[in-house]
Structure 1
Amino acid sequence: MNHFRNRLFKTGRLLFRFLIVLITITTVLMIGLAIIGQLVRDRTVELSLLMYIPLLPLGLWAVFWDGLQAGRSLPRFRFSLTLIGLVVSIWGAISMMGWGGSHAESGTEVTVLHWNVYWGGKGKDDWQSISDDIEQMQPDVAVLSEPPLSYKLNPFLKQMGWSTIQYQGKNTLAVCSSWPLQLEGYVRIDNADAMTVIVTVRGQPLRLLAVDAGRNMSKRLVIHSKQVLPRWRTPMLTEIAQTLVAYQDQGQPIDLIAGDFNAISLSLGFDAFDQAGGGYHLASKFSLDWRGTWKSYLPLYDLDHVWVHKRFQGLRTALFTNLKSDHRGQLVRFVVP
């Protein structure tokens, strides 16, 4: 009997040790894949999956796991996995934090709010909570992705004294303001709804390109009826950059781009925004906040973006959270010289 117990105990210890080694190997492998994703980015659909491995929680997990083993997760150097985890965590935090606002000379300040409001929320009082937040911020322009249906939205617009332009035929975008609005036209973008709207704020006409990207999962790989690869966003982002250039060449530059892109800012397609059409700043980088917008309770990914033309000054951004929506919103301020 004692012999059987000893063998059972030894087997249990071996299995436990095997599990520890397996978790350690998996952790190191995931860190390696995440680093490859950050460096190579979404050059293909398959590589884009690696880009979505979040560095910060992975690094924190590595530190925690190594701590449980008194720093002996990896051979030779004690706390080596802790050091790796700290480096990865710092990298992840720095890459997702804003660096604060920019200086501005005197001019006309404009505030633009973008928020995916999740159709007004699912609960009975969700839209009331969401609309209260919007009212409190009093933006000059509000770009709402996934706005609520008209029976919810219209009373709020009337209360605010706003008019709206919505994407025709689809309830994907609403541009709202108390200032004059003019629909300039719909823009053909691969896998996205887009339109240009002229909003005249305090006598300053601004051309806004509002964008709402389609669903984020690709049909290229399906496992048990589940799509497991993110959609490759490079074609969509390339078309948007080409649109910016085309408007600039016509002497009608786009001043603002806002929407739910379903693409993180690390995506290669966004690189062209730095120069296209005169160049644009990613507004969230001019905040002092964590820049993730989805999901609101654990915003690991920045899928929602506002891009502001570089000719504007004093760019400042504040991100905010209301758990009635599954996305965080952002309030962007800039000065028109």
Structure 2
Amino acid sequence: MSSLIFYALPLPIIIVVVLFISIVLTKKWRRFNLILASILLLVWLSKSFKLHIPDDINKSDLEIVFWNASRANDFQMAFNKNEGVPDVMVLVESKKNDIEEFKRKYPNYYFYESDRELFVFSKAPLIIESENKSKFSTTVINFKTFGINFYAVDVTGSFDVPREWGLNYVNKQINRKDNTIVLGDFNVPYESIYLKQFKKGFNHAFNEKGNGFRETWYNNIPLLSLDHIWVSKDLKVLKTEKFYTKESDHSMLKTYIRK
């Protein structure tokens, strides 16, 4: 129940509700409501809106993309949205990709298909270390490519499954905090207490080098930051971008990393 309330009332929604209530209040209480809304707006902006100067990108730096494709998009749509083929891409909730067709179209690249709508692409050879699924439908794939350890994460979004169960499962799967990137749909915002372990051991790519609102959901409205790219502190985040999309209710995330 607490999860449902939390998801239904992100700060932007609370601000709108406070302003709406002001319409029916007396002048005295309307002033109080407007002050409250202003304070909440400042809190939201200070936490969610980021401004950074990106570093220069070299050819040797890695371009890494994550997207919740909302079951309507495949790799080709993701490449098009990204305006190019990145070094590494992870899709969750993607429609059935024809991996053999993509292999024929991109014969020098590497693809991996999970049995749970989770797909991995890399320009370098892929080594799948493990694929683990909880009984409540949270998936974590550990793979290696470009000499970096990756974890692709898809936490169940069901309201009848406590987020604590999904994130505790993910935390148990992450057994490395060096030379590691964790990316996926965590279905909890950055403020969640269940991301405490990540905040200690990793840098948040958007917080480090992103510009604009951090939130990736819902339908281009910056309500909740459910999608994350976490980068171990021995790797350098150079630049992070967020792409608004009409094709999915989640924005696409891209970050550039230097080893």
TM-score range, shorter chain: 0.7 to 0.9
Deviation at residue 209 of structure 1 after TM alignment: 0.6
| Residue 105 to residue 140, structure 1, CA distance change in 2 (3 Å) | closer
Deviations 1:18-60 (A, max 9, x none): xxxxxxxxxxxxxxxxxxxxxxxxxxxx333343212124224
Q: What is the RMSD computed on CA atoms of the aligned residues?
A: 2.9
Q: CA deviation at 1:65?
A: 4.8
Quick check: which has more Rg, 1 or 2? Answer: 1
- Read off the aligned partner of 1:176 and give its amino acid letter: F
User: What one-letter code is carried by the residue in structure 2 that aligns with 1:329?
Assistant: M
Q: CA deviation at 1:206?
A: 0.8
Q: Contact (CA 8 Å) 1:209, 1:254: kept in 2 or not?
A: no
Show the counterpart of 2:130. Answer: 185
- 1:133 paired residue number: 81
Contact 1:210 1:258 in 2 (8 A): yes
8 Å Cα contact 1:140-1:178 kept in structure 2 = yes
Q: Secondary structure at the match of 1:259?
A: strand
What is the distance in 2 between the residues matched to 1:105 and 1:240?
31
- Matches of 2:64 and 2:76 in 1, distance apart? 20
Whole-angstrom CA distance in 2 between matches of 1:89 and 1:315:
29
> What SS is found at the alignment partner of 2:27?
coil
Out of 161, 165, 171, the residue aligned to residue 241 of structure 1 is 171
Is 2:6 the partner of 1:58?
no
Map Cα deviations across residues 82-114 of structure 1 (whole Å, 9 max, x no partner).
000111122122222234267699994111100
Is 1:293–1:300's contact at 8 Å kept on the other side of the alignment? yes
**2-structure distance, mates of 1:266, 1:189:** 24
Q: Give, in angstroms, the shift of residue 256 of structure 1.
A: 0.8
Aligned length: 255
Cα contact 2:151–2:182 (8 A) shared by 1: yes
Structure 1 match to 2:44: 92
Choose which of 235, 239, 244 in structure 2 pairs with 1:316. 239
Superposition deviation, residue 274 in structure 1: 2.5
What are the residue-to-residue correspondences of 1:69-88 with 2, within 5 Å?
72=27, 74=29, 79-88=31-40
Which consecutive aligned stretches of 4+ in structure 1 deviate over 6 angstroms post-superposition?
A: 102-107
Task: Evaluate the alpha carbon distance shift between residue 81 and residue 285 of structure 1 in structure 2; reply closer, same or farther with a 3 A threshold.
Answer: same
**Residue in 1 that maps onto 2:149:** 207
Please say if residues 141 and 176 of structure 1, whose CA atoms lie closer than 8 Å, have aligned partners that are also in contact: yes
Q: Which residue identity is paired with 2:93?
A: E
2:204 equivalent to 1:271: no
- Once residues 331 and 157 of structure 1 are traced to their aligned partners in structure 2, the CA distance between those partners, rounded to angstroms, is 23
Aligned to 2:207: 285
Superposed displacement of residue 177, structure 1: 1.4
Distance 1:317 1:150 in 2: 26
Q: Is the 8 A contact 2:231 2:237 kept in 1?
A: no
1:117 equivalent in alignment to 2:69: yes
Instruction: Judging by fraction of residues, say which structure has more helix.
Output: 1
Describe the SS at the equivalent of 2:250: coil
Confirm or deny that 1:300 pairs with 2:246: no
Task: Name the CA distance, whole Å, in 2 between partners of 1:104 and 1:178.
Answer: 22
For structure 1, the residue ranges without an aligned partner over 5 or more in a row are 1-45, 219-230
> What is the TM-score normalised by the length of structure 1?
0.67
Amino acid at match of 2:18: A
Task: Determine helix, strand or coil for the equivalent of 1:187.
Answer: strand
SS of residue in 2 equivalent to 1:150:
coil
Letter in 2 for 1:49: L
TM-score (norm 2): 0.85
2:162 aligns with: 232
Find the counterpart in structure 1 of residue 256 from structure 2: 333
Which whole-Å CA distance do the structure 2 matches of 1:116 and 1:105 have between them? 25
Question: Is residue 97–residue 285 contact of structure 1 (8 Å, CA) maintained in 2?
Answer: no
- For 1:33, the equivalent position in structure 2 comes to none
Distance 1:288 1:262 in 2: 21
Return the offset for 1:240. 2.4
- Matched to 2:242, the amino acid is L
1:297–1:194 distance in 2 versus 1, CA, 3 Å: same
Rounded to whole Å, the distance in 2 between the matches of 1:129 and 1:257 is 23
Quote the offset at 1:194 in angstroms: 1.2
Deviation, 1:179, is: 1.2
Aligned to 2:213, the other structure's residue is in SS state: coil
